[in-house]
Amino acid sequence: MSRRQFLKTSGLLSLTPLVPGFVNQLAAATQPDTDQKILVVVEMNGGNDGINTLVPHRDELYRKYRPKLALATKSLHKITDSMALHSSMKYTKEQFDDDEFAIINGVSYPNPNRSHFESQAIWHSGLRDKKRENGAGWIGRALDLTRKKGQTELDGYFVGRQAVSAAMIGRRAQVAALSRFSDLQLDSSIQVLPQTNDRQDIVGFVQRQVSDSYKTARRLESAAKKTGGSEGYSRTRLSQQLRLVSRLIRSGSAARVYYTIQDGYDTHSTQPLTHLNLLQELSISLKAFVDDMKRNGLDDRVIVLAFSEFGRRVRENRSRGTDHGTAGPVFLTGTPVKGGFYGKTTDLSDLEDGDLKSQFDFRQIYASILDNWLNINSKTVLHDEFKHLDIIRSS
């Protein structure tokens, strides 16, 4: 589905045809509170093979189940006596050793679904089937709760070429989508998404904002051009998307959540090289972004969550790949993160229908971030209480 189709079917509206260069929402006329906490989300789209990401290298069944895909032990980055990161995740190992990278093993949800569409819908909504409400996502509902009457600045950004993640959609929250820095210039490429279906509300929305549109756009563009932030980033798409997130944060954006997607993890065939490149891109990009925040004195305000909608099957398939599974690792990084390995060592002799058993419900991670980082009531957002994980340092 194209971005245009997604926006139409979601009932969202781009205001750019009505107001050329309408980017004042994106600019935010006021400086953010210096104590405001920010969440950056990286979605590893397609179902990451957690077993070859977080490798149980001492489990004798690893090579039995994966005679062609098993990784050489000597190339891995060990994080415990029996668990190690993929050889391409050198920079992740450095962050782990610096106590700023949390690896949460065996994350899923009850009665997991192996469909991309359905599992993504569950992760994006933070709700199970019968509880979903009008397509709103867990982040959108959270931002709905924090949006103030009369607020003009944006609540969040989606950075990337894909359709805006359903996780960001709310009833009141204002989210903008952009894919490159040049979108910040005074043109018609920004997608500004007011969450309303009332035409009169839309007209009023435009009238209230148009007087400041060019002024605030120029302010953000000017501020962003004064910042660098290229150190450590590669030329890969994810690196450049996180670099853009950094520029937005450093330019004075008041948004609390930034969301981006790394595609390509649906590795049914010829997995080794594809998976290596994806994990290397992820490792380099996350380290570069966190280091960027440190250089600019923003690291105490920002954490990054990286997740995939499900893991892969334990046993490799006949195409040198892996098929859809269930539980997998979730990552959290940043200076405020309590780095370390969370959960039990992967046990390939204790499976459930050929898949890893779940150790944590992903909503425990969401609840921990909402309550302990964003200071948003997780029970209201998730419609239930979930046990927190001790993964964020006290501020």
Q: Is 80 exceeded by the pLDDT of residue 12?
A: no
Please indicate whether residue 208 or residue 57 has the higher confidence score (pLDDT): 57
Residue 13 C-alpha from the chain's centroid: 23
| Planar angle of CA 214, 219, 225, nearest 5 degrees | 125
Predicted structure pTM score:
0.86
| Block residue for tokens 């994966």 | 66
Give the residue carrying structure tokens 């969450």.
195
Q: What number is the average pLDDT over the span 371-382?
A: 97
In tens, the pLDDT along 384-393 reads 999 999 999 9
Please list, in sequence order, all residues whose beta carbon lies within 8 angstroms of the beta carbon of residue 21, skipping any fewer than 6 positions away: 186, 187, 188, 213, 214, 217
pLDDT tens per residue across span 280-326: 999 999 999 999 999 999 999 999 999 999 999 999 999 999 999 99
**Residues 371, 280: Cα–Cα separation, whole Å:** 31
Q: Which of 10-19, 85-94, 203-212, 228-237 has the highest mean pLDDT?
A: 85-94
Distance CA 252, CA 247 (A): 9
Q: Domains in the chain, please, with CATH?
A: 3-382 (3.40.720)
pLDDT digits (tens, 9 = 90+) for 258-272: 999 999 999 999 999
Is the Cβ–Cβ distance between 275 and 52 less than 8 Å?
yes
- Rounded to whole angstroms, what are the CA distances from 110 to 52, 132, 360, 391? 23, 16, 10, 22
Answer whether residue 242 shows pLDDT above 50: yes
